[in-house]
Amino acid sequence: MINWGIIGAGNIAARFAESLTHVENAQLYGVACRTMEKANAFREKFPCEKAFDDYQDLLDDPTIDVVYIALPHLYHYEWIIKALTAKKAVLCEKPATMTAQEMQAVKEKALAEQVFFMEAMKPRFTPAYRKLTALIAEGLIGEIKRVSTTFRRDLPQEHASYHYLPKQGGALLDMGIYNLAFIQDFAPSNQLSAEVLDRTILENGVDTYVYARFYNDQFEAFIETGFDTTKDTTAEIVGTTGYITIPNFHRPEMFVLTKDGQETVYDIGYNVDDFHSEIEAVTKALLEGQIEHPLMPFNDSLASIALSDQLKALL
């Protein structure tokens, strides 16, 4: 049995805890919040053995095997390192770090401690995504030449949390990390040039809209992300013999193959919900003694956040 601890008690932590109840060989053991009142309220909704008002106290509990870090971006790196130091396996919400330099330090720490770490890029674990990658690996659409991604949501500042704060805000880090991880997974190389095609930057330096292109001689990829308006969330992978459209690529349940003038719809729902397959995969990896998962290894997280760094330098 793998005993999970959760650091943070926001909406995403609640969704995670609910999904965890459906995973075999795993249970929620403890939750840590900034106040005991919040921790106890979370515990009432999602029963567990312990509640903490200090994150370090949760890490010091010897019964906890793995922690899910569901804090705002700025605090991810600090608590990943502290968790790994405490010999706790880590599943951290995206983006796991703010920069590639931080991610490199996380990788080195996990390897030094021989403790599991993974960034919570849950789309990669959904059944639809697994089918998608399998078909592409079989050469169904030939050589990939272009990937396009759009993820935009209207998020007014008065309804936002940390999203508009200069130190940890911006659409690129919060939403665009999904686009970047998708591009990274299907790009034939991580060595890509970049150009920003359009952007909206507030006076405080926070990006609320980014449209950019990555490219080399054989491939190009587009990222469109923003807090400014809501558009259909979609990705398209174009190959030499066909193309695939993926609605809601950040939590896919279906995709459409177009080849030889014909469309084929692949409708493949979640196992329980969009968190379940990810939690199940991490639990299995821990039971098997792994320190990284092949579907979201250290180097993929490093490559994805490096793409973010590349764009931020151009904004």
Residue 292 lies in a domain: no
Q: What does the pLDDT read at residue 189? A: 87
**Which amino acid, 53?**
D
Contact predicate 200/214, CB 8 Å: no
Residue 78 lies in a domain: yes
Q: Could you say which of 103, 121, 139 is where a domain stops? A: 121
Statement: residue 157 has pLDDT above 90: no
Mean pLDDT value of segment 231-255: 98
137 and 232 both lie in a single domain: yes
Q: Could you say which of 121, 147, 172 is where a domain stops? A: 121
CA–CA separation, 15 vs 9, rounded Å?
10
Q: What does the pLDDT read at residue 186? A: 97
Domain of 99: which CATH number?
A: 3.40.50.720
The number of folded domains in the chain is: 2
Statement: residue 266 has pLDDT above 80: yes
pLDDT in tens, 103-152: 999 999 999 999 999 999 999 999 999 999 999 999 999 999 999 999 99
128 and 38 both lie in a single domain: no
133 and 116 both lie in a single domain: no
Mean pLDDT value of segment 65-77: 98
First to last CA, the chain: 46
Domain of 197: which CATH number?
A: 3.30.360.10
**259 Cβ contact list (under 8 Å, min separation 6):** 140, 141, 241, 242, 243
Q: What does the pLDDT read at residue 169? A: 86
Mean pLDDT value of segment 21-46: 98
CA–CA separation, 164 vs 203, rounded Å?
11
76 and 32 both lie in a single domain: yes
pLDDT in tens, 80-113: 999 999 999 999 999 999 999 999 999 999 999 9
Mean pLDDT value of segment 37-59: 97
68 token code pair: 């899910």
27 and 72 both lie in a single domain: yes
- Domain limits at 44? 2-121
Which of 161-170, 209-218, 303-312 shows the lowest per-residue confidence on average (mean pLDDT)?
161-170
Statement: residue 159 has pLDDT above 80: no
CA–CA separation, 37 vs 17, rounded Å?
18
Mean pLDDT value of segment 50-61: 98
The model's pTM: 0.97
- How many Cα atoms are found within 13 Å in the side-chain-facing hemisphere of 287? 12
Average pLDDT of the chain, as a whole number: 97
Q: What does the pLDDT read at residue 161? A: 79
Confidence of residue 175 (pLDDT cuts 50, 70, 90): very high
Q: What does the pLDDT read at residue 40? A: 97
Q: Which residue has the higher pLDDT, 7 or 159?
A: 7
Q: What does the pLDDT read at residue 160? A: 76
Q: What does the pLDDT read at residue 224? A: 99
CA–CA separation, 106 vs 76, rounded Å?
10
How many other C-beta atoms lie within 10 A of the C-beta of residue 111?
14
45 and 66 both lie in a single domain: yes
Percentage of the chain beyond pLDDT 90 is 95
CA–CA separation, 38 vs 17, rounded Å?
15
